[in-house]
């Protein structure tokens, strides 16, 4: 779970909320040194520093200078500015998605990271559940046969309270997409990651649960439904909602091919269902029986649940390993972040126009 090799990585965290705390815990679990935090004001920085047990930075600029890798967890609209500052300083970057609130800026960030020659990653952490890797390995080894259909959903209910509001609801701070940008981006990233192929066109509809939240007009969607087509011709059905009563973080994804199906359920991440015509299998997360890229992510024995923090820590470990010169498989980079921005924009475009939108790169 740690080791001397990554001890020298000094991590700085921009932001002071829940995600900042999660990044700090993950960095530590990965054996890094969390050196500093900078939030939106001196006061919030002090609070975060005390809460996380790290030193407060004087400013974002000072933080960037003091560390090896900058974790950006600020509101969406500030991601680009913070990421560019870090890249310009030649620092490695971990930036929360969405990279930017529009796809053009996100693409610029991906290009800037490429040019800077640093490690620049986006925490699509669901990729780091061993059984998501196993699903991907199954597909890559032609275990599915030819892909026929995709069915996925990412459902939450925390926005069901009409009084619930936060910066994400405000398009200026969070970007024009909320539910899709926030969680749909995970769903399409995981779909393309496991399938090993791209969504090439989509048709979408979106909806808002409430015209107003806390007396402010809501401009961003609470739910989105999509039909998609993949590069190999499979069709798919995806749904995203933050207003689905009783669903807490229900990311489910099933890929069905001519030979078998796989279903991954994020809330039960230690199992993989492999559907077959004559019988179906339940594969437990057990390093002894998994593909190498899945087995390497198992840090506790089968039956001892691994969870969200474990996946986040694995993401951090792989990021730091890349910084150390390794090339870990499946690391989500700024290119993947920019891809999510592109797909989010396509969802909004299609929902507005009613027509299918091409999503090829």
Name which of residues 152 to 171 contact a copy of itself (CB under 8 A): 153, 155-158, 160-161
In angstroms, the CA 21 to CA 281 distance is 37
Stretch (H or E) spanning 344: helix 334-353
CB of 17 to a copy of itself, least distance (A): 12
Nearest CB to a copy of itself, comparing residues 203 and 333: 203
In angstroms, the CA 233 to CA 199 distance is 9
CB of 113 to a copy of itself, least distance (A): 27
Nearest CB to a copy of itself, comparing residues 59 and 207: 207
With CB under 8 A, what is the number of residues at the site for a copy of itself? 99
CB of 317 to a copy of itself, least distance (A): 12
Q: Taking CB under 8 A as the criterion, which residues in 300-339 touch a copy of itself?
A: 300-310
Q: Are β-strands 55-56 and 69-72 bridged in parallel, bridged antiparallel, or unpaired? A: unpaired
In angstroms, the CA 239 to CA 243 distance is 12
CB of 326 to a copy of itself, least distance (A): 17
CA within 13 Å, CB half, 124: 31
Examine residue 283 and tell whether it contacts a copy of itself (CB under 8 A).
yes
Examine residue 279 and tell whether it contacts a copy of itself (CB under 8 A).
yes
Cβ-based neighbours of 166, under 8 Å, separated by 6 or more: none
Which region, judged by CB under 8 A, interacts with a copy of itself, from 80-88, 286-294, 320-328, 333-341?
286-294
Q: Taking CB under 8 A as the criterion, which residues in 228-267 touch a copy of itself?
A: 228-229, 233-239, 241, 243-250, 254, 256-261, 266-267
CA nearest neighbour of 305 among 292, 286, 290: 286
Handedness of CA 160, 162, 168, 174 (dihedral sign): positive
**CB contact at 8 A, 32 and 56:** no
* Selected binder of a copy of itself within 223, 253, 345, 346 (CB under 8 A): 223
- Kindly tell me the burial class for residue 290, based on how many C-beta atoms sit within 10 Å of its own C-beta (0-12, 13-18, 19 or more): buried
CB of 198 to a copy of itself, least distance (A): 16
In angstroms, the CA 124 to CA 162 distance is 28
* Selected binder of a copy of itself within 182, 270, 318, 336 (CB under 8 A): 270
* Selected binder of a copy of itself within 87, 110, 118, 226 (CB under 8 A): 226
Q: Taking CB under 8 A as the criterion, which residues in 83-142 touch a copy of itself?
A: none
Residue 127 is given by DSSP the state: G
- The label of the residue with tokens 């259909």 reads 149
* Selected binder of a copy of itself within 115, 278, 325, 361 (CB under 8 A): 278
CB of 245 to a copy of itself, least distance (A): 4
Nearest CB to a copy of itself, comparing residues 134 and 333: 134
Examine residue 349 and tell whether it contacts a copy of itself (CB under 8 A).
no
Nearest CB to a copy of itself, comparing residues 84 and 204: 204
**CB contact at 8 A, 337 and 95:** yes
* Selected binder of a copy of itself within 275, 291, 293, 330 (CB under 8 A): 275
In angstroms, the CA 79 to CA 99 distance is 6
Angle between helices 76-88 and 103-116 (to 10 degrees): 20
Q: Taking CB under 8 A as the criterion, which residues in 7-66 touch a copy of itself?
A: 7, 18, 21-22, 24-25, 28-29, 31, 50-53
Nearest CB to a copy of itself, comparing residues 67 and 204: 204
Strand ordering across the sheet containing 69-72: 55-56, 33-38, 10-14, 69-72, 92-95, 120-121
């Amino acid at each position: 779970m740690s080791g001397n090799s990554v001890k020298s990585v000094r991590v700085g965290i921009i932001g002071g909320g829940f995600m900042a705390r999660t990044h700090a815990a993950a960095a530590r679990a990965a054996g890094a040194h969390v050196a500093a935090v900078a939030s939106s004001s001196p006061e919030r920085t002090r609070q975060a520093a005390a809460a996380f047990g790290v030193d407060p930075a004087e400013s974002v600029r000072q933080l960037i200078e003091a560390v090896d890798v900058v974790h950006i967890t600020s509101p969406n609209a500030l991601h680009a500015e913070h990421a560019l500052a870090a890249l310009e300083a030649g620092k490695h970057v971990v930036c929360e998605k969405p990279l930017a609130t529009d796809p053009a800026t996100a693409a610029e960030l991906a290009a800037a990271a490429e040019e800077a020659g640093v490690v620049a990653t986006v925490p699509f952490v669901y990729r780091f559940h061993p059984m998501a890797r196993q699903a991907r390995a199954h597909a890559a080894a032609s275990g599915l046969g030819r892909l026929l259909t995709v069915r996925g959903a990412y459902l939450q209910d925390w926005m069901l309270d009409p009084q619930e509001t936060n910066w994400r609801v405000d398009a200026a701070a969070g970007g024009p997409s909320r539910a899709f940008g926030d969680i749909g981006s995970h769903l399409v990233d995981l779909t393309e990651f496991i399938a090993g192929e791209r969504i090439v066109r989509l048709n979408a509809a979106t909806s808002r649960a409430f015209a107003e939240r806390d007396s402010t007009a809501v401009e961003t969607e609470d739910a989105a439904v999509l039909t998609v087509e993949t590069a190999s011709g499979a069709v798919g059905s995806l749904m995203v909602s933050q207003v689905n009563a009783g669903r807490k973080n229900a990311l489910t994804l099933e890929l069905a091919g001519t030979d078998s199906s796989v279903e991954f359920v994020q809330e039960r991440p230690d199992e993989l269902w492999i559907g077959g015509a004559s019988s179906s299998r339940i594969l437990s997360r057990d390093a002894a029986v998994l593909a190498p890229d899945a087995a390497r992510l198992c840090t506790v024995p089968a039956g001892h649940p691994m969870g969200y923090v474990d996946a986040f820590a694995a993401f951090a470990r792989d990021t730091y390993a890349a910084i150390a010169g390794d090339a870990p498989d499946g690391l989500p980079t700024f290119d993947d972040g920019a891809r999510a921005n592109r797909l989010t924009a396509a969802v909004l475009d299609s929902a507005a126009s009613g027509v299918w939108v091409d999503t090829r790169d």
